[in-house]
Structure 1
């Protein structure tokens, strides 16, 4: 089950301040531009991990995130 779809506005929420992406992404908002399916869910046992969300930011930068690092923008 996917929580987000292409076109959804999201906020990046990385709770671990020691995560190398925390300073770069935590609190930023963007738009999901693509949803990529992979087999990560098989490895973790959580089907939600089988989706990688490509998020584009206002400045044109983009990166990929798993469901656990995304929240609705609101």
Structure 2
């Protein structure tokens, strides 16, 4: 089951301050614009990991995140 769908407004919430994406993305809001599927869920044993959510930010940049790094956010 996918947690987010294209059009959903999300907040990036990376709990690990050592994550290389933390400084650039933590706390930013954006819109899910695409959902890709891969075999990461088979690798981790958690089917939620099989989805990579592409988030577009207000400046037009995009980045892919797994479910654990995203939270629902009020529409912006």
Pairwise same-fold verdict (TM > 0.5): yes
- Report the TM-score when normalising by structure 2: 0.95
Q: CA RMSD in A?
A: 0.5
Q: CA deviation at 1:72?
A: 0.2
Q: Which runs of 5+ in 1 are unaligned?
A: none
- Report the TM-score when normalising by structure 1: 0.98
Q: CA deviation at 1:22?
A: 0.5
The aligned counterpart of 1:24 is: 24
Number of residue pairs aligned between Structure 1 and Structure 2:
74
Q: CA deviation at 1:73?
A: 0.8
Runs of 4+ deviating beyond 2 Å: none
Alignment pair present for 1:56 and 2:56:
yes
Q: Which runs of 5+ in 2 are unaligned?
A: none
The SS at the match of 1:18 is coil
